[in-house]
Each structure stands twice: as structure tokens, then as C-alpha cells.
Structure 1
Amino acid sequence: MAESIRSDPVDRDPIRPEHITGLILAGGRGSRMGGVDKGLQNHQGLPLALHAMLRLQPQVGHLMINANRNLGAYDSMGVPVWPDALLDYPGPLAGFLAGLEHCETPYLVTVPCDTPNFPLDLVDRLAAALVAENAEMAIAATVEDGQLQVQPVFCLMASTLMESLVAFTQAGQRKIDRWTGGHRCATVVFDDAAAFANANTLDELQRLQPRWTADAARPAGLGAVPGSARPAPLLAQHEQVQAFHLLACPRRLAQELQA
């Protein structure tokens, strides 16, 4: 088990990746997908949650998943899995709370499982803004049709905010913007709005375009042309990653990959 380095973020030094735990939010109902487990839906040969994991992994020191069903399948991805502590799928704040309860680093960053192309510099930019603005949290935003669109589930927060969130949810509150509005919050605007495209329906999932490029996150040792530093073609990358997980993971995850 990794040594706990959780502490109060008081010195405003640059935030290093090893001081951040990444949380994949996969605990929703998937209502607009017909009630399916969204994080396990196949996208380009991998479950959505695994796409998010591979993209977030190089940006943080630790990873975990928030999920409320098919826990064995998520556990097969090799990181801790924590269900909501609150009942009846109350929304993303329940995932935030589960993450904060189990976070052993000074900071927690959250990303949803249904947005597989989020920026590779997401965490770096959120961390820089949090420090520069002496904030308690930093959230992503985009500009669409001239309007600022806040992306509150892409949130870097100090782990010391757990008590605040416990009190907020115990009072029956569930709205993210109301909770974040009560804290010093930095907003980071990303130019590429398409990077935050998500899949709320199966049709939207089919329309999502992959962004696996030479600089994209991928498991070490996979996705390279033998004897060359060149990245493998898109299909070969996914075939190799899928084969790795089919071999390494229990049958339950393999069945989900083939669904």
C-alpha cells in the first residue's frame, strides 16, 4: 500500500502528480443510456472507464474508481473501487464524497467515465490555477457559442474539503454548483471544447471520435511498432490493449468488453 501523504495544502508550492489522487466517476444510473452501466460500455474496443483511467494515469500519482454496480468488473481494472456512501444514486457529489473519504493525498481530482478525450494537460492546468489563485478547488470550463460552460465534474480539490462536503450532503443538498460556490474556486478555460464531449446516450457514444495519438496516454510497452519509436496504428493499439486486459482480467470484465 502506498504511504499516505495526505496533509493540509498550506504552502502553495507547485502541486506534484504524486500529491494527487485521480477518481473516475462511474457511479451513475445511466438513465439516458437505458439504465446500462455507462463505464463498462464498449468504445473503440475498451470500456469507457478504462479510457478515462488510461488518460488520467500519467497526470496523477494514484487512481481509484467510484462505481455502484458490477464492482467485480471495475475491480479487475486494477485500482481501488469505492461505491457511494449515500443511497439512491444522488449524483456526482456522492462520488466526490466517496473519493474524499478514501483519498490519502492532499488533493483529489475527478473526471467522469463518459468523456474519453479530456485534455492530457487537464490536471497540470487545474493545479497551476489552484495555486496561482490561492483556491481550494479548480474546475474546468469551455466556451461554446460565446458562452462560458462550466464542467464541474472535472474538479481538482483539496482533500481537506471532506468535512464541508459531509455537512453539505447531510443537509440534503446535492447540487455541485451550490457546493463549489461556497469555496474559493478557480475556473480554468480550455480552448478545445470537443475534448469535453461526453456520451449520455448510446447514439452519442457511437459519434464520439477517438483521439489516440502519439502523445496520448497508453500503457507502457503497448501500442508501439516493434523496433521503432513510432506509435502503432489506431486499430493495432486498441487490439494490443484489449488483448492485455482480456488476459489479465477475470472473465467478468472480458464479457463486458465483448458486450
Structure 2
Amino acid sequence: MDPRHEVTGLILAGGQGRRMGGCDKGLEPFAGRPLVGHVHERLEGKVAAVWINANRHLAEYEALAERVVSDRESGFQGPLMGIHSGLCAVATPWVLVVPCDTPALPHDLVSRLVTGLGEGDIAVAHDGERLHPVVALIRTSLAADLAAALSDGERKIDRWYARHAWRAVDFSDCPEAFANLNTRDEKQRLEARLSEE
């Protein structure tokens, strides 16, 4: 698989940001630019295109990605709905989903997920201690199955993955790369750490 032709990156920025006071996390300033810009940079040039899944401030996001895809159903229904919306919209056979609040993702994320996929349909990052279900490479043809799961009320990513041939991909050498920002304190600490690198 050549990810520069067969994979579309999809940054999930469609949530409500409840733990950060309802802010639109992807647009939160981080080290001088929007948080989502740092995530975009980690994927740019390594996949066919980088899209953003967003449900607010669409004009701002459109300036930061090749395309913005909103959830197919309203009501902030969670990351599975964002993933489904991306799977339905892209033309590539694979989608790489990542959250908008992980600015330190590994530079080799794409290549390692592709390698770790093997014959599977889904490859999910594992930091040695826990799985990161919203950092995953997913076969686009699973869109119909995900639509059925959503219509049955499923909102848990790991339960949907369990229906398919999925692989955990080892990133235990860089667990700090998956730090995500749920509070302003976490944001300040990670800004300080990245500024020292």
C-alpha cells in the first residue's frame, strides 16, 4: 500500500470540547497556531490528502485542510459518527483517523500503521499500556457496516472494531506522542515540553 495515494487523513475535530469548557479544541491556540495545525503537519505529505471532520467554525477549518466533512447526523454523536462521515466521503480505499488534540503524534505514524495492518481491516495505535482507538487506519469499505452499527445505537469505538479483523500496532517506544489535551493545564504542560525538543 502506498499511503500517499491510498490513504486519506481525517482529523477528528467534531466534538463539543466539554472538558475544556465547550471550546472548539481544534482551533485552540497551541504554541502559536491552532492545535489542529500541528496534527495536520504530522500527516501532510504522508497521505493522499488531509481532511478535517468538524461541526462548528467550518470556515476556519476550511482554511486549514483540503476539505472539511461534517457529521452526517447532527447532535454531536461522538467519534464513530465522525469516522463514518469520513469513510463515506473519501475516494481512497483507506482512512487514517487521528484526534485534533494530539499535537505530538509520531512522525512515522502513517508508515507504522500501514506496516502493522498486515491483512487486517483496521490498525489501531497502542502505546504499550493502552489502546488509542481514535488513532487508527480503517478500510473505507467498512462504511456500510458502521452505518448499520450506528443505526443500532452503537457509539463505542472498541466494540465496533471488535466486529472486524483489527490489529494493535506497537508504539510503546513513544507513549508520550499520544498525549491528548483535555484541560488547559495539560495544554500548557505539553506546550512547555514540545518547546524544549
Is TM (by shorter chain) over 0.5? yes
**Aligned equivalents of 1:54 and 1:162: distance in 2?**
26
The 5 A counterparts of 1:59-70 are 59-70=46-57
Residue by residue, what CA displacement relative to the aligned partner does 1:142-168 show, whole Å, maximum 9, x if unpaired?
A: 12xxxx300010010111010010000
List runs of 5+ in structure 2 lacking aligned partners. none
Q: How many angstroms does 1:55 deviate by?
A: 1.1
The 5 A counterparts of 1:154-169 are 154-169=135-150
**Aligned equivalents of 1:100 and 1:212: distance in 2?**
37
The 5 A counterparts of 1:2-17 are 14-17=1-4
1:141 to 119, 126, 129: 126
**Aligned equivalents of 2:3 and 2:127: distance in 1?**
25
Q: Residue 71 of structure 2 corresponds to which residue in structure 1?
A: 84
**Contact preservation (8 Å) 1:59, 1:120:** no
The 5 A counterparts of 1:181-200 are 181-190=162-171, 191-200=173-182
Higher CA-based Rg? 1
**Contact preservation (8 Å) 1:41, 1:47:** yes
Residue 33 of structure 1 aligns with an amino acid whose one-letter code is M
Q: How many angstroms does 1:86 deviate by?
A: 2.3
**Contact preservation (8 Å) 2:116, 2:123:** yes
SS in structure 1 at match of 2:44: helix
Q: How many angstroms does 1:91 deviate by?
A: 0.9
Identity of aligned residues (%): 43
Q: How many residues align?
A: 194
SS in structure 2 at match of 1:58: coil
**Aligned equivalents of 1:172 and 1:91: distance in 2?**
12
Moved over 6 A (4+): none
Distance of aligned partners of 1:88 and 1:45 in 2 relative to their CA distance in 1, 3 Å threshold: same
Q: Residue 184 of structure 2 corresponds to which residue in structure 1?
A: 202
SS in structure 2 at match of 1:35: coil
1:97 to 47, 59, 84: 84
Matched, 1:150 2:131: yes
Matched, 1:34 2:21: yes
List runs of 5+ in structure 1 lacking aligned partners. 1-13, 214-259
Q: How many angstroms does 1:211 deviate by?
A: 6.6
Matched, 1:23 2:7: no
